[in-house]
Structure 1
Amino acid sequence: MKTPLSLALSALLFAAAPVIAAESTADVLIRHATVVDVEHGTTRASQTVVIRGDDIVAVGDDQALARQWRAARTIDAKNRYLIPGLWDMHVHFGGGPELIEENKALLPLYVAHGITTVRDASGDLAEQVLSWRGQIASGQLFGPQLFTSGAKIEGIAPVWKGTIEAGDKPGVDAALDREQRDQVDFVKITDSTLTPELFLYALSQAKQRGLRTSGHIPMALTVSQAVDAGISSIEHLDYAYKAGVKDEAAIAADFAAGRIDRAEANRRLHAGFDRDTAMAAYRRFAELGVAVTPTLDGGRIIDFLDVEPHDNDAYLAYIGPGLRKTYAWRVERAAKATPEQVQARHARYSQVAAVLPMLQEAGVHIMAGTDAGFLNSYNYPGIGLHNELSLYVREGLTPPQALTAATRAGPAWFGKLDRYGAVETGKAADLVLLERNPLQDIEATRSINTVILRGQVHDRAALDAMLDTAKAKVAAWNQEAATQ
């Protein structure tokens, strides 16, 4: 005969049984993995990672977890290296409405190269990209998680297409209202025709509204003015270099007053760098949480086009004919340079790239971003991020620091480190399984065996199929273009 106590215990066990069973059932087990702890630059061998839906629900000793969990699919990692998904924090989609499909075909290229999140820094297809963001999030469209600035804010009649034009403060306010209606992930502000005063106003107003910002800083302003106004990230290493010029304020004032032209301003900037000035500026970046996206590879491609041509790159087979045409104007401009100008380009690249380890030393968040997309010649979506990381190490970062720039700096900027940037319980199941250890050699990020995106497994065969499909689409477009 059961006592009331035993009956109560039996009832509790019965009620708990479904919970226990549910906890032991998963969608994917990754066994025998070497988990890379990017934050601390260490590895943990013989780990099992348990995935349910798009969540990591357990990580731990392989033997212990393998006894506790069962899954519909088990992957034997065979001691390969498991890292968080890669983030490209500066990409572009654009080239006009006629290139929508060519841009859309770029999305799988990111996934095929281990990039599970991209940050679109504005082109001329803002409405389309906003639509893709929602379609990807709902599972209607295949691609990496997409954050976007929507349309960039500019002045009246700017060189850039697809912008929100603002000629006064009410215009800036209206532009920010639209950005908020579009629920953009951050605001991009550029300086083709936007006045310096309105640039600073836009930054300060965006900050008041709780919006993150990035942009191109006008020559008539100092970088510190943009930082003080509230800019959240500095795109392109050139601006970080400019912040290290001792007489930057005088150069900006002379340019604003019309006493010097842009060429003379650039000449003085490149002659006036001072390490102490730079380190003070960079420490302030770090103090205020201002990140820097170097986009080194894009600049290097053009700067060294004379000795490193790209017109026969095998990767062009993945880039549509319309997008390839957008490369032409920068290539043609570079080809017209005199030998002296070419030499100056080489020297300028080295001079600017040298500030990268200084930013790291100062504690600045360096966000890996490529500038890949239309207009930016041979700067390829997908493989471009791996080229960017290779340059970071070449220019003075360690492999762990470079890997951090591509896995943790982006989530940190968006305030999402609770969800991304580590292979841990509770994090998103966006993962990349590598053949080699990226903490020892950054080139290992290219050795991709498997990509897991939102809990869905894409093995090497599936990744190769993505590449084959992309190549076949481009081949068809090439054939169609040749007959027109």
Structure 2
Amino acid sequence: MSSLRPLAFLFGLLFSTAQAAQPAQADLLIRHARVIDVAHARILDNQAVAVRGQDIVASGTDAGGRYLLPGLWDMHVHFGGGPELIEENKALLPLYVANGITTVRDASGDLPEQVLSWRADIAAGRLFGPQLFSSGAKIEGIKPVWKGTVEVGSRADVDAALDRLQNRDKVDFVKITDSTLEPQLFLYAVSQAKARHMRTSGHIPMALTVHQAVEAGISSIEHLDYAYNAGVRDGDRIAADFGAGRITRAEASARLYKGFDPEVAMASYRELAQRGVFVTPTLNGSRILANLDNEQHDKDDYLAYIGPGLRQTYQWRIERAAKATPEQIAARHAHFEQVAAVLPMLQQAGVTIMAGTDAGFLNSFNYPGVGLHDELALFVKLGLTPAQALSTATRSGPAWFGKLDRYGAVEKGKAADLLLVDHNPLENIGALREIHAVVLRGQLQDRSALDALLAQTRAKVAAWNAAAPKP
């Protein structure tokens, strides 16, 4: 029996309730599926999967069909832009589900309290959206560039910030950034979070080396630029010179860019792997920004799903890019290509790579939902196999959170967060875009339901556009 059946026939055959098949045994029966075993990069043909509540309760043999795999995880997203954009941010949540993403990790914006409330509402079934993990407010120095922070200027401040995040906000991890945070306080915050068994991620201050952050106990490195810096010879001297004020930030950046050494890099990356430090490259966002001079986005279809206030936050990067000289543009392109080239080195060294987009406010044209598919396509273009890329979006996130017992596979006892696609993503990662259905917390969202989610968001954005002040 062919796996390429007409859609109406497929859903008549593929999905049935327990009343029609196994009374009191399952709420949803998925039949005629080819289950993708991501961990072993193989296909299990002729499978049936039974779901009860939010759990997979059984799987077994059946006829051939489409491809069933764990739901996707986007491990680096943002919500923000100010209180006036709360509703526009909330409208992004269904976009993730419509694109097969069943879990997102919020890496902090300027709406931390709102996002934490969404986390609770989603878990309780009061709000529709992907499972949401959040860092809450990020830890920063005094008067930082970024809003939505807990400002710290001393060790006592760090201790108080961690008390708040752990005990009051009950965050899922701690985000630490380097706008104004004193480098030694960065290391102290990382080490104290580790002592509390809290996972950490962040932006490593230029006055520190990646090795120092790893020694302190950082759990994940966000953005590939920082992993690139770990491969720079004399990186410790560059960090010391910058920290002592002997060189400017621009001079430090130039020395880091020129000092990359593949042997140093592989030794550093093997250390990351040995210590269990994950890396979230967020490459597609970097690619978009690097190419703002030669790629037009004003006609992007996906802009119809992004509210006018969020679109306005894109402008600061657009305007900054427009002011670049031809030499700066060429350097921007070259820098992206050189940094991106380390991705397969991380894979070769055994580093766990997590797929994350950096999508949300501020990051121009890096769209929530579809951006993860762009990220995975870029991973494959840069040298990962489709199986390796798929693992970054289905198993790496659960592994980082210590939740592989519940996620990352289609088998009994796992959470019923699933994705059904038409073709085999182990052969072509682009097959993940061909979504026929999503199962979110045990609830089927077939193609018509996913299209309805997109239509609802599009209608909201159209209404906001109509009400927005005209320029």
Q: TM-score, normalised by structure 2?
A: 0.94
Give identity over the alignment, percent. Answer: 72
Structure 1 residue 366 displacement after superposition: 0.2
Q: Secondary structure of the residue that 2:184 maps to in structure 1?
A: helix
Q: Secondary structure of the residue that 2:39 maps to in structure 1?
A: coil
**Equivalent residue, structure 1, for 2:54:** 54
Residue 436 (1) aligns with residue 420 (2): no
Question: How far apart in 1 are the matches of 2:225 and 2:55?
Answer: 39
Question: How far apart in 2 are the matches of 1:209 and 1:286?
Answer: 22
Q: Secondary structure of the residue that 1:419 maps to in structure 2?
A: coil
Matches within 5 A, 1:403-422: 403-422=390-409
**Equivalent residue, structure 1, for 2:314:** 327
Residue 138 (1) aligns with residue 127 (2): no
The letter for the 2-side match of 1:480 is A
**Equivalent residue, structure 2, for 1:465:** 452
Question: How far apart in 2 are the matches of 1:153 and 1:49?
Answer: 43
**Equivalent residue, structure 2, for 1:273:** 260
Residues 21-56 of structure 1: per-residue CA shift (max 9 Å, x gap) = 988621111111000000000001110001111100
Residues 285-329 of structure 1: per-residue CA shift (max 9 Å, x gap) = 111110000000111101011111212211000000000000000
Question: How far apart in 2 are the matches of 1:482 and 1:388?
Answer: 34
Q: Secondary structure of the residue that 2:48 maps to in structure 1?
A: strand
Residue 384 (1) aligns with residue 371 (2): yes
Q: Secondary structure of the residue that 2:108 maps to in structure 1?
A: coil
Question: What RMSD over aligned residues (CA atoms) do the two structures have, in Å?
Answer: 1.2
The letter for the 1-side match of 2:92 is L
Question: What stretches of structure 2 of length at least 5 have no aligned partner?
Answer: 1-20
**Equivalent residue, structure 1, for 2:388:** 401
Residue 122 (1) aligns with residue 122 (2): no
Q: Secondary structure of the residue that 1:292 maps to in structure 2?
A: strand
Structure 1 residue 482 displacement after superposition: 3.7
Question: How far apart in 2 are the matches of 1:283 and 1:42?
Answer: 27
**Equivalent residue, structure 2, for 1:158:** 144
**Equivalent residue, structure 2, for 1:18:** none
Q: Secondary structure of the residue that 2:376 maps to in structure 1?
A: helix
Residue 286 (1) aligns with residue 239 (2): no
Residues 402-425 of structure 1: per-residue CA shift (max 9 Å, x gap) = 000000000000000000000011
**Equivalent residue, structure 2, for 1:41:** 41
The letter for the 1-side match of 2:161 is A
The letter for the 2-side match of 1:397 is L
Matches within 5 A, 1:9-158: 25-62=25-62, 79-158=65-144
Question: How far apart in 2 are the matches of 1:123 and 1:79?
Answer: 41
Q: Secondary structure of the residue that 1:367 maps to in structure 2?
A: coil
The letter for the 2-side match of 1:272 is G
Question: How far apart in 1 are the matches of 2:313 and 2:301?
Answer: 18
Structure 1 residue 483 displacement after superposition: 5.8
**Equivalent residue, structure 1, for 2:285:** 298
Structure 1 residue 259 displacement after superposition: 1.0
Q: TM-score, normalised by structure 1?
A: 0.92
Matches within 5 A, 1:253-272: 253-272=240-259
- Higher mean Cα deviation, 233-242 or 332-341? 332-341
Aligned residues: 450
The letter for the 2-side match of 1:398 is T
Question: How far apart in 1 are the matches of 2:395 and 2:273?
Answer: 15
Question: How far apart in 2 are the matches of 1:353 and 1:124?
Answer: 28
